[in-house]
Amino acid sequence: MIVGISPDLPHTADLPLPSELTLRVFKPVVAAVLRRYWRISVHGADHVPPAGPAILAANHIGLLDGPVLLAMTRRLTFAMVKHEMFTGLLGRFLSYVGSIPVNRRVIDTRAITRSVQVLRAGKVLAVFPEGSRTGGDVAWARGGAAYLAMVTGAPIVPVALLGTREPGQTRDQLPRRGAQIHVVYGQPFGVPRQGWPRRKSVVGEWTALLRERLATHIVTAQAETGLALPGPPLRLS
């Protein structure tokens, strides 16, 4: 089976760039608010390339993951966000800051094309390969990050997020005020850029490698920071 769009696609030259002005304005504000409520430590920030495209592949444990990652990354960062979040005032805000809605139940070619356009413009894109909030150990991973790296040649930076949810909390709860949060960037790695066809089996192989590297990085980050993952989110009966 072959995944992709066509020999020369995704075409992105005619797409409008995601709005950067709103993101630039709100990023320091969000960072200040987060630091006011929680103790946030950033490790390995130099692993994020200072210029050019990059994909931040992070584990996903809590509601704060996206805001923390985008606010604490030195470079301006856009994010892929599940399309269910794009409703009401929150949805309007996410659109204003250039977040990319993605339908996780299908191969969302619109989200893929938009993400490729961001990377081809030399920007940073945040992706959560697990696809939903979990225990954070990356027991599985979706193929989006690997595929985008194959299309654009952007390096992948593994990111461990620790403390954005505490043990015994549901997936929608926030850590207590003053809790410690760690953002740990790992050594970037490359995926060979490939033209058409990009076969599902090849994407799967690189996705498995990405999952393994991210999972290993998370184990290392826990040892280095002394903060463990919270375990699976509490399910309310």
- Given phi > 0 = left and psi -120 to 50 = alpha, else beta, which region is 91? alpha
Overall pTM > 0.85? yes
d(CA 50, CA 198): 29
Homologous superfamily assigned to 17-166+176-225: Glycerol-3-phosphate (1)-acyltransferase (3.40.1130.10)
Each residue's pLDDT tens digit, 194-218: 766 667 888 899 999 999 999 999 9
Mean pLDDT of the chain: 86
pLDDT band at 1 (very low <50, low <70, confident <90, very high): very low
Each residue's pLDDT tens digit, 100-138: 877 766 666 788 888 898 999 899 999 999 988 899 999
Residue 39 bridge partners (DSSP) = 180
Pick from 181, 178, 30, 9: nearest CA to 93: 30
Instruction: Assess contact for 3 and 199: CB atoms under 8 A.
Output: yes
